[in-house]
Amino acid sequence: MRKKRNAWDECSCIFTQKLHSNLFLIAFKMNHQTTLTIALNSYQKAIVQTSHSFTEVLAGPGSGKTSTLLQRVLHLVQKAEVPCSPDQILVLSFSNSAVNNVKVKLAMRQECQSERERNVDLRKVRVKTIHSLSLHLGGQKNKSEFLGEKARRQLVQSALEQVYEAANKLPKARRTLRQAFLKGVRSNNEGLLQLLQCIDLMAVSGGKAKETIANFGFRHLERRAATVEAVARAYGEEKRKRKKWDHSDLIVQALDAMRAGKGDLKNIRHVLVDEYQDCSPLQTRLLVEVGERVGSLMVFGDPNQAIYSFGGGRYSALTQWMKGVETLSLPKSYRLNHPHVDFLNAFVEGGSIEALSQDAPDQQALTRVIADSAYRAYNSVGGKVQRLLDAGCLPQDICIMAREKAVLAPFESALLMRAIQTQRLGLERDLSDIEAVAQLMAVAEKYSDKEVFESKIRGVCATRLKRPFLDGDIQEITKRLRSGFRSTSCEGRFIGCWKAYCWLIRRGQGGEAVTHIRHELARWEVVARQCENAAELLKKVRAADARQGVITSTIHRAKGGEWRHVIVVGMTEGVLPSWRATTDTLLAEERRLFYVAASRAIETTAFVCHPHTYPSSHGAVREVRACVEQSSFLKPKKLHSKMRRVALRASS
């Protein structure tokens, strides 16, 4: 199966294999030399040179946050009052991709150093994820016993059911209240996440729900402390019974080790944290403990880009956790032009981003496209991308992003109709599946004899199965292929073949394995519509794959990236903001998600509003299945003057 990777994961693989390759370093230097050698502005100098022990840096989009962090490392090593060696600096981040980002930039900065500075090896700086640090402090765990996020939620659901059943023994009034609360939590994803966060923090505070709820602001749980404690006990018992552990156990074990004086931090003098806004409360507690033990802690983050609450992230200012914290800001953006800065400052109450350049505002930088049908939106985006490419823009400088993958898929198909390939961030695409389907089509087109047909089909499909080929398989797939070939069009035959192929893959590898294959094959249907047979289809597929692809991405995956031109699709009420955002907390996260999308572009951003219909299997209630209204995030009049409006209607 294809492996999900993002851009920095791929870069990390190259970095690991070719760290000492001059050609690689020169190529990387060409792309990042500006970032590495740019002069520090006054805000950055204050951060780099501060002598304060505990500091929180509030960094705006494109403000050079990671570069400032690297300059802080250089200052500590070379220019501080008491310089330290690189291996005495610990850099932490929320994700593997962010860690790889820092590692690659440290290696590049090492190559850019002068001869006098070369005696300091910046690659010795310790760069870890917070969970990697927890393993280092608390000891190793058996990975086979690890609970992923999905399995963890299932275990909590099981604990909720146990407490729900146990409540039957309580007096009627208490039973009714407890069961009503538990029922609400089970059906509310946000409530489940907050309950998990509270349980994690209880492990740190000795299992006292009342104290945890009061100290960490879980106000909606104030009257449910006894119930929360019961769920926490049941969850702990379930983990012990199944001999499982999760990330919270890892951090709790690290905290216990530090409090017992066993944590190995003796050689660390400075701790710097990137992407602080994505930390969970439990991770923040560990950072505070580490910072207080070491005596030096600096965190970088942007509260307006805290978009991972579904994974446990919950931003809280460092001043809420520690005393004597200095708060500094990085408001000046190297990425955003004046129109984008004005737009974001108007969108966020009290926004204070500053544009670096003094260029006159470009009225074409932001566009609001309102289409009365999805087809016109697909055609408009395809036309815009085509014009950008014809003007000499590189495909990798264009990004189409959306709140959800399902919204992106038809736009990717519309680009394929124009022979424009796309590359989805986090998804490595290959031609093995589409080639297998094309071969099935070719066999069905060429051979009518049953025995020859079945022999050829067996040869095409056997390599894709991870178990012996069964007689029932060949009979069923032959039946499905014959049914698909009743269609007279190449598109109809292609659809029949890829559905039969996916059935075969599901039989061999399970339902989850076939999901990405189905989505990948379905996007080629529009190409099959333009072909006469399997050979022509395969030729067009290979020609499209040989070209560099335009970037497509979900907004979550695009966070941290930047492109010259960004097109945000699905700007429809019910899509962004999501129909699931039924509380103020969830709606605030949707606003931050839009903020991230609107701050990715260097030159232009287009917001495309178009109707979108969710399938009945999606889980959306009937009232919100059809989303047609323009997103409420684009409705405020103070934003209208900052965008050019384009309407796409039947008469246009």
508 marked as binding residue: no
CA distance 244 to 552: 37
Regarding beta strands 550-554 and 422-424, do their DSSP bridges make them parallel or antiparallel, or are they unpaired?
parallel
Give the three-state DSSP class for 41: coil
Give the three-state DSSP class for 262: coil
Max Cα distance, the chain (Å): 85
- The continuous run of DSSP H or E covering 554 comes out as strand 550-554
List CB contacts of 430: < 8 A, sequence separation 6 or more. Answer: 2
C-alpha angle 622-625-629 in degrees, rounded to nearest 5: 125
59 marked as binding residue: yes
**287, 44 in Cβ contact below 8 A?**
no
Q: Is the CA virtual torsion 62, 63, 64, 65 positive or negative?
A: negative
Q: Nearest 10 degrees: CA dihedral of 294, 296, 302, 303?
A: 70
List CB contacts of 244: < 8 A, sequence separation 6 or more. Answer: 145, 146, 147, 151, 155
CA distance 80 to 51: 9
Query: Angle formed by the axes of helices 96-112 and 7-17, to 10°?
Result: 50
8-state DSSP, 489: S
35 marked as binding residue: no
8-state DSSP, 578: B
Q: Is the CA virtual torsion 304, 308, 309, 314 positive or negative?
A: negative
8-state DSSP, 569: -
66 marked as binding residue: yes
62 marked as binding residue: yes
Amino acid code (one letter) for 649: R
Give the three-state DSSP class for 206: coil
Q: Count CA within 13 A, CB hemisphere, residue 175.
A: 8
CA distance 420 to 565: 16
**Residue in the block written with tokens 């960004």:** 566
Distances (CA, A) of 240 to 108, 201, 234, 256: 46, 18, 10, 18
CA distance 160 to 437: 45
φ/ψ (deg, to 5) at 577: -70, 150
φ/ψ (deg, to 5) at 597: -65, -40
577 marked as binding residue: no
61 marked as binding residue: yes
First to last CA, the chain: 45
CA distance 617 to 219: 35
Distances (CA, A) of 457 to 203, 238, 487, 631: 57, 47, 19, 49
619 marked as binding residue: no
φ/ψ (deg, to 5) at 355: -85, 140
Q: Report the binding-site residues.
A: 59-66
Q: Report the binding-site residues for ATP.
A: 59-66
